[in-house]
Amino acid sequence: MKLSFRWYGEDDPVKIGYIRQIPNMYSVVTAVYDVPVGEVWSVESIEKLKKTTEDNGLHFDVIESVPVHEDIKLGLPTREKFIENYKENIRRLGNAGVKVICYNFMPIFDWTRTQLDYVLPDGSTALVYFKKQLEKMDPLTGELSLPGWDASYTKKDLNDLFEKYKSVDEEKLFENLEYFLKAIIPVAEEAGVKMAIHPDDPPYSIFGLPRIITGEENLDRFLKLVDSEYNGLTFCTGSFGSSNKNDVVAMVDKYAAMGRIHFMHIRNVKLYEDDSFEESAHYSPCGSLDIVAIMKALHKNGFDGYLRPDHGRMIWGETGRPGYGLYDRALGASYMTGIWETLDKLK
């Protein structure tokens, strides 16, 4: 496996030079963040990211993410322009040597949490998703507080989007995803870039909006939409693990054996009976997921793709982007490296 680390560019409180110092670190996972969703990234911006990454002794192989415009998800006639722009981004990133693009197909909201500073018993703080907190929020009235979500929409924008999504159920969203995939995967094949969809986070409906990348049945359907190795997965253990319906270890084993996992996000969660959850340390006894078993499933299947520690707690007084502090993610990276080394030596 190729160990990687999310970096948000020059404005990230975590310096890229610190990432290089984490043992076994192979690549940085980053993106161009100053271009509106749906627009084409400049060659200059891509090359600047590539140079910064490589100047710091790391590989520029994975982009997370190239966002999908809402018009594509909605299936509007205007999607054609944005699909063409998306194709051009794939080509430009392929020309720069990128091997994998992570993206998602979640309507309106990306990963959703209800609190960013929940205090765990050890005094660290973590992102959490509590259903009772979400029930008190209403995006249509402006009573909304979702840490980590890019709140770039005005109240009017949100109301307009929700109105448009009234005609989009899960079946329609699948149709729109299929249309998108059939347009971009041939381009990805030509560019040598593997597309890796991120699961819905959490993997169930939020505010009545449809979500479809949620579990094994829908993953099987997704992979058949375009049966190509370039149509694959970003398998996020924390996202799938946020539902009691998902057997995460069995799913990792299945899709790694198929060769359709191109990118792994490893995160642990402490799961509640109602599918509420709190994010925990990566170390297996801290959460509901068996990280050792997940790593064993990858190792057994010869996984040689990219893997990064996902959201971490804020520990040792660190402040910064919620879920993306340096210290706890570095501990998670070292924990996973230790598991992998042990598995290698037990062969």
Active site residues: 198, 236, 265, 310-311, 324
Could you tell me the strand order of the sheet in which 269-271 lies?
115-119, 125-129, 277-279, 269-271
Helices 248-257 + 216-225 axis angle, to 10: 20
In this structure, the strands spanning 269-271 and 115-119 are unpaired
Closest CA to 299 of 333, 340, 338: 340
Contact predicate 98/62, CB 8 Å: yes
Whether a cis peptide bond, with omega within 30° of 0, leads into 65 is yes
223/22 Cα distance (integer angstroms)? 34
139/162 Cα distance (integer angstroms)? 9
Give just the sign of the alpha carbon dihedral 229, 234, 240, 241. Answer: positive
327/316 Cα distance (integer angstroms)? 8
**DSSP per-residue letters across 248-317:** HHHHHHHHHHTT-EEEEEE--EEE-TTS-EEE--SSGGGSSS-HHHHHHHHHHTT--SEEEE----B-TT
Helix/strand/coil percent split, the chain, to 5? 40, 15, 45
Contact predicate 158/208, CB 8 Å: no
Contact predicate 211/203, CB 8 Å: yes
With residue 172 as reference, give the H or E element that holds it: helix 170-191
Contact predicate 187/93, CB 8 Å: no
